[in-house]
Amino acid sequence: MPIATPEVYNEMLDRAKAGKFAYPAINVTSTQTLHAALRGFAEAESDGIIQISTGGAEFLGGQYSKDMVTGSVALAEFAHIVAEKYPVTVALHTDHCPKDKLDGYVRPLLSVSEERVKAGRNPLFQSHMWDGSAETLADNLEIAQELLARAAAAKIILEVEITPTGGEEDGVSHEINDSLYTTVDDAVRTVEALGLGEKGRYLLAASFGNVHGVYKPGNVVLRPDLLKELNEGVAAKYGKPAGSQPFDFVFHGGSGSTAEEIATALDNGVVKMNLDTDTQYAFTRPVADHMFRNYDGVLKVDGEVGSKKTYDPRTWGKLAEAGMAARVVEATQHLRSAGQKIK
């Protein structure tokens, strides 16, 4: 099964939570990086999530118009076709979308899926993210309520980010400070607004010190044990059994995280972990190596003609795909999703 149906996507998330593993959510910006992600999942025998950020959607829309909706719809339609050739199941997701881009990205994409569902088809994307972390929590949740209602009607899962992730992601930036930790009160207010599934399923990007971008281990203080506190606080408030995990958590800003930090996050209910920085490097590193090693071939130096075999994009593109696919395999191993594909 290539692209997950709404029912299968829910099953994927349920299996991850029950099995204490998470799906790598790989940001893609081209058909080439899409194939790299699919290849990595297939080689690891892991299902997974493919996602497109606003910046990625602009890039996919072409530099002439930078139309985010056109770019993301085009790649999603492409994915529905080529994913048929890979023996894994993937879900399509849109990554961080702040308030000022909702009308140019998520809301139009919801309309696309609404029309598809009305016609008896499945939604184009299986989930969308609303990043209201730059807004007050009250405003954030008010918009989330509107989006969740539309998403649920279109058989789509909503991802919400209720408190900031540090660093910068596609123009949304937050300082690295004590505000990067979600409180139990924040979690309770989220449930008061969005419910616990009865209004539609949602994924929660809670903050436990996460930072986007590149950092070395030790430079950021991650507290994945905080996720347990959030689950316990909400479970107690709403009369859920001890040890239950009301939330489906998402791990943002995971570059540089230790194996122990990732394992603790998985044990505490993380079902999705975003990867962008690391896979970008894994894609570009083999290309840089090829260019340095074949300088006289990829360039027409001193009046020479170069070597078509070395500057042919297919030559270095294959290396890039292999490098990124290998990093995706590594991610599935860290997140325990390797070998867990739906049979």
Q: Which residues are catalytic?
A: 95
> How far is the C-alpha of 140 from the C-alpha of 133, rounded, in Å?
7
Number of Cβ within 10 Å of residue 255's Cβ equals: 22
Name residues whose C-beta falls within 8 Å of residue 284's C-beta, 6 or more positions apart in sequence: 320
Alpha carbons 114 and 119: distance in angstroms, whole number = 9
Which residues, in sequence order, are bridge partners of residue 129? 159
- Separation between Cα atoms, residue 343 and residue 228, nearest integer Å: 31
Which of left, alpha, beta for 178 (phi over 0: left; psi -120 to 50: alpha)?
A: alpha
Residues 37, 328: contact at Cβ < 8 Å?
yes
Total Cβ atoms within 10 A of residue 301: 11
Could you identify the residue written with the tokens 């008896």?
Answer: 120
Segments of 225-269 assigned E as strands: 249-251
DSSP string of 271-312, one letter each residue: EEEEE-HHHHHHHHHHHHHHHHHTHHHHS-GGG----HHHH-
Burial 312-325 (b: 16+ CB within 10 A, else e): eeebbbeebbebbb
Q: Which residues pair with 244 in a beta bridge?
A: none
Spatial neighbors of 76 by CB under 8 A, at least 6 apart, are 52, 92, 124, 125
Both tokens of 24, joined, read: 């790598």
- From start to end of 187-297, where are the E strands? 202-205, 249-251, 270-275
